[in-house]
Amino acid sequence: MIFQGAEVWLLIVGLIVGTIVLFLALYVAEMYIISKTTAHDRKLATLLCAFLGVFLVPILAGAIGLLFGIIGGAIASVQNLIPAITPQNYLMQLVPIFAYLIFWIICKYIISTTWEKSGLVALVGLIILYLIYTLFPMIPQTLDFITVV
């Protein structure tokens, strides 16, 4: 269902450009945070990490958002029973944090470095990833969890 829209070519171009830009950002971050030899030796792992960041993180963040929406809706329905409280769903604000943690785990186990260094690399990568999603908004919209299931 992902590749059935009218603008499939724009999604594919966005995925390719996003992967290349994120790969370059992760590569530079690895060069300065970890070491130049490590970054040079793990180019393929960095490319895989960039592709999974561009392709997999929106799907998993959408699934977490869907789950938190259901849980938050149930809590809001309970809050409706108390007349002094206006129902709020603050769980949805946790989705970017879980997206960062997912990307951190991907960077840690694919690049295979320490948690501290992979956390910094993942932070730089996630900032660039959100800039990519701003330039190509069809990537997280098309790769939403609801369209995949």
pLDDT above 90: percentage of residues in the chain? 30
Q: What is the pLDDT of residues 62-80, one digit of tens each?
A: 899 889 989 988 888 887 7
Each residue's pLDDT tens digit, 114-135: 889 899 999 999 898 888 888 7
**Of 119, 99, 12, the residue nearest 56 (C-alpha):** 99
How far from each other are the two terminal CA atoms of the chain, in whole angstroms?
Answer: 8
- Asked if residue 146 has pLDDT above 60, the reply is no
109-117, Cβ contacts within 8 angstroms, sequence gap of 24 or more: 110/45, 110/48, 110/49, 110/52, 111/30, 111/34, 111/42, 111/45, 111/46, 111/49, 112/42, 112/45, 113/34, 113/38, 117/33, 117/34
Q: Tell whether the model's pLDDT for residue 102 goes beyond 70.
A: yes
Residue 145: Cβ within 10 Å count: 16
What are the residue boundaries of the structural domains of the chain, listed by start? 6-148
Residue with tokens 């960062």, as numbered in its chain:
100
pTM of the model: 0.80
